[in-house]
Structure 1
Amino acid sequence: MQRGAAVLSDAELLAVLLGSGVAGRNVLDLARGLLVRFGGLRQFLEADREAVLCEPGIGVVKYAQLQALLEIGRRYLDASIERAAVLDGPWAVRRYLKAMLRHEASEVFGCLFLDTKHRPLAFEVLFRGTIDRASVYPREVVRRALQHNAAALILTGYGVNSSVSLG
């Protein structure tokens, strides 16, 4: 950690968060095993609660701590976007929306409301659907835009088997 967390591998970062191993396995081996079983850091952190709690060394408290960490990260990103002078391009918007929507388990339609200088006013998931579709009502999109006094909108659709799309 002398050179900072950015130089650590996913397994090393997870090991720091886990804090201790289990009988016969040190914390780094435990972290590596979790990443292999779940397919990576993101998949582990987004995995179903029951699946994570079945793993040795992960109890209810540790799971809650990991979920709290994810929420802190989401709020940090949300606050930094809200403070931003302007969203400086499609990649910044995409990164923000992916962070906001990555926990969704079904199709969603969302809207990023912007002021006259293209600074974020708010982000809302307006419609939720099934695993493969979401119904969208333009009247509701317009109503929410007027409530936020938005000068511009970025519309997004997200599904569990797709990526963030911008409109």
Structure 2
Amino acid sequence: MDTAESLMPREKMLQSGIGSLSDVELLALFLRTGTPGKDVMTLAKEMLCHFGSLYGLLTADFIQFRSLSGVGIAKYAQLKGIAELARRYYNVRMMEENSLLSPEMTREFLQSQLMEEEREIFLVIFLDAQHRVITHSRLFAGTLSHVEVHPREIIREAIKLNASAVILAHNHPSGCAEPSKADKLITERVVKCCQFMDIRVLDHLVIGRGEYVSFAERGWI
């Protein structure tokens, strides 16, 4: 009888479930085929080694990607499609499940929406009194290192949606998620403005590349 380690990714998935696959095996499952003189498992290992992680691979641009010998636009399109499919999945899941947000689900959703942005985006999730998602909105867009946020616009949108609570989020395209002094100041302003309208700010998450910071987890909200 074959052990799990000796099985090809598809057979291993059928026997032990998708969660049993390593990063290399999961990547090989999506790639399906190798390149001339290189089987798909070898190709998957080389790609992960070259980019350092699945994150590094899925966020690479085409110039970085084609530095791999024998790999072209078809494989690049496959992997970009995977990343976009994941982003859309979290988007739909957020709206269709209509469930209470967990910290993990919130973080995963925000990372899927903001992690690859090349400029700062300020996104707000609007919730009802039971903390179920009403909608989310990219209210402000900025530059590589700054986004101007207007608390009154957040309040106006929350009132229009009859929201009882909000979760704030923005990304740092530099990759480092550590909040700046400006991030802390604008969070304080938004919290104070929301308090006047009896709207709770549950958290503010800063999304970096493969990392995040939660104001709530740090006790800042």
TM-score bracket for the superposition, by shorter chain length:
0.7 to 0.9
Deviates more, 1:114-123 or 1:47-56: 47-56
- For 2:47, the equivalent position in structure 1 comes to 34
TM-score, normalised on structure 1? 0.85
- For 1:15, the equivalent position in structure 2 comes to 28
Q: How many residues align?
A: 166
Match of 1:47 among 51, 54, 60: 60
Distance 1:3 1:134, change over 3 A: same
The answer to whether the 8 A contact 1:21-1:27 is kept is yes
The answer to whether the 8 A contact 2:35-2:71 is kept is no
Match of 2:160 among 147, 151, 157: 147
Task: Give the aligned residue type for 1:116.
Answer: A
Is there any run of 5+ residues in structure 1 with no aligned partner, and where? none
Pairwise CA RMSD: 2.1
- For 2:100, the equivalent position in structure 1 comes to 86
Distance 1:50 1:145, change over 3 A: farther
Q: Structure 1 CA distance, aligned partners of 2:133 and 2:70? A: 41
Shift of 1:109: 1.6
Residues 14-49 of structure 1: CA deviation (Å, up to 9, x unaligned): 111111112222111111111111111111011113
* Amino-acid identity (%): 37
Residues 39-71 of structure 1: CA deviation (Å, up to 9, x unaligned): 111110111133224434543333223222222
Distance 1:30 1:151, change over 3 A: same
- For 2:136, the equivalent position in structure 1 comes to 123
Is there any run of 5+ residues in structure 2 with no aligned partner, and where? 1-12, 178-206, 216-221
SS of alignment partner, residue 143 of structure 1: helix
- For 1:132, the equivalent position in structure 2 comes to 145
Q: Structure 2 CA distance, aligned partners of 1:108 and 1:51? A: 25
1:101 correspondence with 2:123: no
SS of alignment partner, residue 118 of structure 2: coil
SS of alignment partner, residue 155 of structure 1: strand
The answer to whether the 8 A contact 1:156-1:165 is kept is no
Which structure's CA Rg is the greater one? 2
TM-score, normalised on structure 2? 0.67
Structure with larger RCO (C-alpha < 8 A, sep 6+):
1
- For 2:16, the equivalent position in structure 1 comes to 3
Residues 86-112 of structure 1: CA deviation (Å, up to 9, x unaligned): 113x33322322222122122222111
The answer to whether the 8 A contact 1:158-1:165 is kept is no
